[in-house]
Amino acid sequence: MADRAGLEKGEERGVGGWSEHMVLPTYVRLHSYRPPTSDPRPLSCEESMSGKLDGRIAIVTAGGSGIGAATARRFAQEGASVVIADLSGKRAEEVTAGITTSGGKAVCLKMDAADPEGVHATIKLALDTYGRLDVMFNNAGAAEVALLDETSLESWNHVLAVTWTSTFLGMKYCLPIMRKQGKGAIINTASISGTGGDYGLSSYNAAKAGVINLTRSAALENAKHNIRINCVCPGAINTRAAQILGKERADEFRRLQGQAHPLGRMGEPEEIANTVLFLASDEASFITGAAIVVDGGVTAHTGLPDIRRLQR
Ligand SMILES: NC(=O)c1ccc[n+]([C@@H]2O[C@H](COP(=O)([O-])OP(=O)(O)OC[C@H]3O[C@@H](n4cnc5c(N)ncnc54)[C@H](O)[C@@H]3O)[C@@H](O)[C@H]2O)c1
């Protein structure tokens, strides 16, 4: 049974990336909303671009929605065959159908990225179907809003398992395959919430900071195997997470999130997908161990008030 936000029963938890502090502290200047200057809507696979991933095999976890779905579509447009893995089999199937009907190659499965069995099954599907694995996008994440002293151990463990342990498992199980192949690219979804603190998101902040530093260690250990490992740190992105966390005030939630970004809007999932595509492609051949911030300028700001206002 799906509700208004497209949620299936029991899915209210496990959303990623939304930072309560972006419902702004009063001293932060609000920016007026501006729509994206270019149209970030996905092209069909027939309108494919320049074949940046021609012949490559890619896994996308949490590929049934938002950033993962946009990235799966983008990978397919650029010639990759994609394995779409998601906790929601229904969403994974919908994204897969969209890709295959527009001329791309994709298969999918229902899995839990925090469960070693689920990760094993995903990699097995890639190998059984396509015979190799070139790109691993570890994208699952979960946020639960609570003050630290009110966070239950169960909630803490859940957020770390889906956000951090899933990244560890995804890398652990694909590395031996990529080493054997002599090449690979891994991209992990971190967040600007891994580069600073948020109000009410301590477990998410800790887990995303963990993703960033885990990316660095893994990059160092695997550089000699010709495997590049990077992470992407999105700002607030317009996905179903906004609907889930904003509930009946989702529109206001989106507006405030947009205003917190110097570019005057939230990011679109396709704008993160473009960055992940770049990191997966040979265009990023000298980039490893990097945390690429894609946040409309949020982290460019110290958070201090506009000094000109204080001088008036
Ligand atoms: N939306 C943002 O503002 C934002 C910002 C920074 C980082 N992120 C990160 O981006 C990633 C994707 O977030 P999104 O906003 O696109 O989310 P989304 O809610 O649009 O989609 C998340 C998908 O993940 C799936 N999922 C949830 N738990 C899973 C699990 N254990 N195993 C496999 N799949 C699972 C869900 O079924 C859903 O299809 C997350 O890691 C999130 O923390 C999001």
Q: Give domain status of residue 3, yes or no.
A: no
- Counting from 1 in the atom list of ligand 1, the atom nearest the Cα of 269 is 16
Ligand 1 center–CA 276 separation, angstroms: 15
State which residues form the domain around 279.
45-296
CB atoms closer than 10 angstroms to residue 117: 10
Q: Give domain status of residue 135, yes or no.
A: yes
| Ligand 1: residue whose CA is nearest its atom 4 | 17
pLDDT score at 122: 98
Q: Give domain status of residue 141, yes or no.
A: yes
Burial class (CB in 10 A: 0-12, 13-18, 19+), 300: exposed
- Which has the closest alpha carbon to 224: 288, 283, 279? 288
- Residue 147's region, left for phi above 0, alpha for psi from -120 to 50, else beta, is beta
With beta carbons less than 8 A apart as the criterion, state whether 64 and 88 touch.
yes
pLDDT score at 36: 59
Q: Give domain status of residue 271, yes or no.
A: yes
With beta carbons less than 8 A apart as the criterion, state whether 230 and 279 touch.
yes
Q: Give domain status of residue 266, yes or no.
A: yes
Ligand 1 center–CA 180 separation, angstroms: 30
pLDDT score at 246: 87
pLDDT score at 44: 58
Q: Give domain status of residue 136, yes or no.
A: yes
Helix (H, G, I), strand (E, B) or coil at 261: coil
Ligand 1 center–CA 68 separation, angstroms: 7
- Catalytically active residues are 204
pLDDT score at 31: 42
CA dist 287 and 310 (Å) reads 42
Query: Which of 8, 23, 86, 198 is the pocket-test mutation for ligand 1 (most atoms within 8 Å of CB)?
Result: 86
Number of domains in the chain: 1
Regarding the beta carbon of 170 and ligand 1, being less than 6 Å apart is answered no
Q: Give domain status of residue 10, yes or no.
A: no
Residue 148: CATH number of its domain: 3.40.50.720
Mean pLDDT by 10 residues, the chain (312 residues): 42 44 31 51 60 98 98 98 98 98 98 98 98 98 97 98 99 98 99 97 98 99 98 97 88 94 97 98 98 98 91 81
Sequence-distant (6+) residues with CB within 8 A of 248 are none
Helix (H, G, I), strand (E, B) or coil at 201: strand
Regarding the beta carbon of 184 and ligand 1, being less than 6 Å apart is answered no
pLDDT score at 311: 85
With beta carbons less than 8 A apart as the criterion, state whether 204 and 193 touch.
yes
Q: In what order do the strands lie in the sheet with 57-61?
A: 105-110, 81-86, 57-61, 135-138, 184-189, 227-234, 291-294
Q: Give domain status of residue 106, yes or no.
A: yes
Please, where are the H alpha helices in 131-249? 153-160, 166-181, 202-222, 240-246
With beta carbons less than 8 A apart as the criterion, state whether 5 and 240 touch.
yes
